[in-house]
Structure 1
């Protein structure tokens, strides 16, 4: 009997990480029989070094522009994929799922969607490099190693945090953060997600218990936005993990949890 074909997987990174940071995940998912890819954001070069050399190329792209970029990626596949996103990538994954463009989605430390109200102080501190200047709405912003340590690497040792900063970080547009921050004051915010859609593919939201950038309370509040949908919406928390959980030494545990969940959903 022929085994059913698995949907392709599209990985979407968030702010300040390059698409190539998903390479270990792509390899692991390939071993599990998935055809996976991690497309770059609009303006993002194919390597970390090239993206750093031309930060203006990624500036001024907002939530809708980036979402539309991935809509076109999915359209090119000819089949609804599984979409797995980290941070703002998790927000995009939910938008695509809410538009019924994905067979299923996983949001890892997903940025807050419209309707999510909690705003912990650690999240404000993590985004200060962007919000310290209104001009950053139209600019690309980079994180120093110290800023990355607070926002991403607080749950790991500093040498590892510094190594991850050097290996994977790139400048990112400030606009998505400004848009997410204003979402609850905007009737037609691009951060709005159709959380009531049913039927739709299953959704898994993963939280890091020590995440400064997207604290666990944000993930739990996000899950509550789906309370009127009859579709599967699950939440898993890694209590001792921070925002770096997709790229640090414990990434495989998170990735394996995603694979196990996909299998349980028939994906």
Structure 2
């Protein structure tokens, strides 16, 4: 299989209004569904720390070519969404969840379908926060290398041993140090086989304003798991995926995430690090997501019939 950071699908951009008069950048690619009488749910991709909607371009085209309408949001303070210098480092997890809610409402109004939300890392934490009160508004939720609901503090020893800049970042309370150079970004987010030109390209797009408030919120328990688990279909709707070489959310944290949600099956993709959607082998990750989504959709169809 060949791997590429580009695809042939074009993207369009709209802006969706969230709370606090925030305008959210939403890039999208419309799917080509060649299966008659089958309507697939739209996919909504939610980025994590340092990123924006741009980081999903590989996945948008790939999934669109398989029939899904694909959307990626830039959360407030990121990408081309509204930026407020005095607030971008202190938006709360709840406010980011409101951004997701606003986009889900927009998608349902325009597609009449409940989306599948896919959150990466901090985006996974935001999706979990959103699910506390809004599980019934989605078809499924995919957590990619996501912070577990009990917080990231348990992974700190692993981070420090694998990314030396972590200790200095903690002492100076500036987590941007983890990715302040392409070399540091590679150690934190990517496998060693990423081409230098791609690494430089991605690093140039990273956000330099870091939300310290959300970092602190997600150090310890930040979501009420019982509120999510009380939803009757939650266990058949959750998908959890991690990367074998991820030094930010290691394998044991991914497995703990599955156990916390009642023993949900997790998938670990070989030879990929934290930024699974930008890695050289991003297509392997996309294939796992597709297969798991197909499983969930088939399960739902079986229950109906």
TM range (shorter): 0.7 to 0.9
Q: Residues 170, 56 of structure 1: CA spacing in aligned structure 2 closer, same or farther, 3 A cutoff?
A: farther
In structure 2, which of residues 282, 286, 290 is the aligned counterpart of residue 259 of structure 1?
290
Q: Residues 45, 144 of structure 1: CA spacing in aligned structure 2 closer, same or farther, 3 A cutoff?
A: same
In 2, are the aligned partners of 1:59 and 1:174 still within 8 Å (CA)? Answer: yes
Asked whether 1:106 is paired with 2:142, we answer: yes
Larger Rg: 2
Question: How many residues are paired up?
Answer: 251
Normalising by structure 1, we get a TM-score of 0.81
In structure 1, which of residues 71, 74, 98 is the aligned counterpart of residue 104 of structure 2?
74
Q: Partners in 2 of 1:244 and 1:115 — Cα distance? A: 19
1:144 positional shift: 2.6
1:180 positional shift: 1.0
Q: Residues 165, 128 of structure 1: CA spacing in aligned structure 2 closer, same or farther, 3 A cutoff?
A: farther
Asked whether 1:208 is paired with 2:243, we answer: yes
Q: Partners in 1 of 2:168 and 2:57 — Cα distance? A: 27
Q: Residues 158, 27 of structure 1: CA spacing in aligned structure 2 closer, same or farther, 3 A cutoff?
A: closer
Q: Structure 2 unaligned runs (5+)?
A: 1-34, 299-305
Which residue is equivalent to 1:132?
171
Q: Per the alignment, in what secondary structure is the counterpart of residue 276 of structure 2?
A: coil
1:112 positional shift: 2.4
Normalising by structure 2, we get a TM-score of 0.71
Q: Partners in 1 of 2:49 and 2:58 — Cα distance? A: 19
Q: Partners in 1 of 2:278 and 2:151 — Cα distance? A: 29
Q: Per the alignment, in what secondary structure is the counterpart of residue 297 of structure 2?
A: coil
Correspondence list, 1:1-267, <5 A: 2-46=36-80, 58-78=88-108, 79-98=113-132, 99-100=134-135, 101-114=137-150, 118-124=154-160, 125=163, 127-128=166-167, 130-134=169-173, 143-157=180-194, 159=196, 162-171=199-208, 172-183=210-221, 189=222, 191-193=223-225, 194-197=227-230, 198-200=232-234, 202-227=237-262, 233-266=264-297
Q: Partners in 1 of 2:143 and 2:233 — Cα distance? A: 19
In 2, are the aligned partners of 1:59 and 1:140 still within 8 Å (CA)? Answer: no
Q: Residues 178, 140 of structure 1: CA spacing in aligned structure 2 closer, same or farther, 3 A cutoff?
A: farther
Q: CA RMSD in A?
A: 3.1
Q: Per the alignment, in what secondary structure is the counterpart of residue 260 of structure 1?
A: helix
Q: Could you give the per-residue CA deviations for residues 65-104 of structure 1, whole angstroms, max 9, x where no partner exists?
A: 1111111111122242100111111222333344313210
Q: Per the alignment, in what secondary structure is the counterpart of residue 207 of structure 2?
A: coil
Q: Partners in 1 of 2:67 and 2:286 — Cα distance? A: 14
1:247 positional shift: 0.5
Runs of 4+ in structure 1 off by over 6 angstroms are 139-142
In 2, are the aligned partners of 1:8 and 1:82 still within 8 Å (CA)? Answer: yes
Q: Which moved more, 1:219-228 or 1:148-157?
A: 148-157
Q: Partners in 2 of 1:241 and 1:141 — Cα distance? A: 18
Q: Which moved more, 1:143-152 or 1:68-77?
A: 143-152
Q: Residues 217, 87 of structure 1: CA spacing in aligned structure 2 closer, same or farther, 3 A cutoff?
A: same
Q: Residues 97, 32 of structure 1: CA spacing in aligned structure 2 closer, same or farther, 3 A cutoff?
A: farther
In 2, are the aligned partners of 1:58 and 1:173 still within 8 Å (CA)? Answer: yes
